[in-house]
Amino acid sequence: MRINYLDLFSGIGGFVLGIQKAGIEFNKHYFSEIDKYAMKIYKQHFPNAIELGNICKINGKALKKIDLITFGFPCQDLSIAGKRKGLGGSRSGLFFEAIRIIQECKPPIFIFENVKGLLISNEGKGIAETQRYKALGNIVSVSVVKEITKKLYA
């Protein structure tokens, strides 16, 4: 199977590595990251990926048919170690930039991950916000991965 893929908040490429291990290949592979060290590693591992830069400057409508978008947006405002500003925080609020791009690209599938704090941040408003996308025709499923499960995949 070959798809057009967009990897947002790419980091060093955890999502794309999993997708490749699942046997999926790319017609087009785009990525968005701003950390220069993460980008260097990403480009080294995925030299054919097309760099889009800062998520806030991406025009999703300009991208050709995207089949899958993945993202793991910043967790600092959701984490129990942070100030717990939720999706209203300046960093975790970048979630809405990813949603903007999803609305522009209209991929049949998008997958995102974040810390458990998303479920309880800002009095539960974080998870309520993610559930709102069911109204757009998307299937929304939420799972908390237990530590024992993580060890099985390490």
Structure tokens at 33: 């990251």
Catalytic residue among 49, 75, 78, 87: 75
Residue 38 host element (H or E): helix 36-45
SS3 category, 140:
coil
One-letter amino acid of 98: A
- Distance from C-alpha of 74 to C-alpha of 9, rounded to nearest angstrom: 8
Residue pair 84/125 in contact by the 8 Å Cβ criterion: no
At which residue do the structure tokens 């109204």 appear? 135
Is 75 part of the annotated catalytic residue set?
A: yes
The C-alpha atoms of residue 88 and residue 76 are separated, in whole angstroms, by 11
Which residues are tagged catalytic? 75
